[in-house]
Chain A
Amino acid sequence: IAGITQAPTSQILAAGRRMTLRCTQDMRHNAMYWYRQDLGLGLRLIHYSNTAGTTGKGEVPDGYSVSRANTDDFPLTLASAVPSQTSVYFCASRDTDRAGELFFGEGSRLTVL
């Protein structure tokens, strides 16, 4: 089934630990995104990539890093997790045409203790 796959589905992590959330898409979309979703705040953009080899900062990039070595994969890394990074993380992708629909993964629920 075509779409976006995120892993892990959920994770409990000790503060200070390093964590990588994985995201893979098989739709050959150029653009990929990482969002975090917190109650009352909606979806906020962390980092994005308009095409393989390029990345950019979103609204809340601090404490996160991304890479885009190829079209399909877009991992999000927390170098040293803090409790404020407890959230649900969604990866998304879309065609770069201007009306492109966003396709979301099912989310990764991260708890930092």
Chain B
Amino acid sequence: KNQVEQSPQSLIILEGKNCTLQCNYTVSPFSNLRWYKQDTGRGPVSLTIMTFSENTKSNGRYTATLDADTKQSSLHITASQLSDSASYICVVSERNYGGATNKLIFGTGTLLAVQP
């Protein structure tokens, strides 16, 4: 069964510190992997997309990595800010060769709290 697992479930860090969130998946065939940020009471917003051939992609203080061999991705946040407090959701797209829209498999998210 295609699954996406995220760790840790929750994390508390001090403002200015770095942190790394993990995403392991068993989705096959793989199309791409996205990290979404969901602020409290809001809808998720895409941060990065990783395709099979990409190892690293940055978006400001957010850096995502992908190891397609081990089926692992990480999201590294540098110099955290209070506004980084949110849930971070890993979403893996299963490639559909039949022409239909690719199926999306969601992780349950990591809840990050940045404290002053």
Q: Is the CB of A90 within 8 A of B108?
A: no
Q: Is the CB of A40 within 8 A of B49?
A: no
Interface size on A, residues (CB 8 A): 22
- A residues 12-47 touching B (CB-CB < 8 Å): 31, 40-45
Question: Apart from A100-B101, A106-B41, A107-B41, what are 11 other A-B pairs with CB-CB below 8 Å?
Answer: A31-B101, A42-B89, A42-B106, A44-B106, A50-B101, A96-B101, A99-B32, A99-B49, A101-B49, A106-B42, A107-B42
Q: Does B116 have its Cβ within 8 Å of any Cβ on chain A?
A: no
- Give bound CA distance, A48 to B79, whole Å: 38
CB within 8 Å of A: which of B62-99?
Answer: 89, 91, 93, 95-96
Closest-by-CB residue of A relative to B9 is: A40
Inter-chain CA distance A99–B95, complex, in Å, is: 10
**Chain A residues engaging chain B, CB cutoff 8 angstroms:** 4, 31, 40-45, 50, 90, 92, 94, 96, 98-102, 104-107
Contact B46 A101 (CB under 8 A): yes
A40 contacts B108, C-beta separation under 8 Å: yes
Identify B107's interface contact among A4, A42, A90, CB under 8 A. A42
Interfacial chain A residues near B34, Cβ < 8 Å = 101-102
A-B contact pairs, 23 of them (CB 8 A): A4-B43, A42-B108, A42-B109, A43-B44, A43-B89, A45-B104, A50-B100, A90-B43, A90-B44, A98-B32, A98-B93, A98-B95, A98-B101, A99-B49, A99-B51, A99-B93, A101-B34, A102-B34, A102-B36, A106-B41, A106-B42, A107-B42, A107-B43
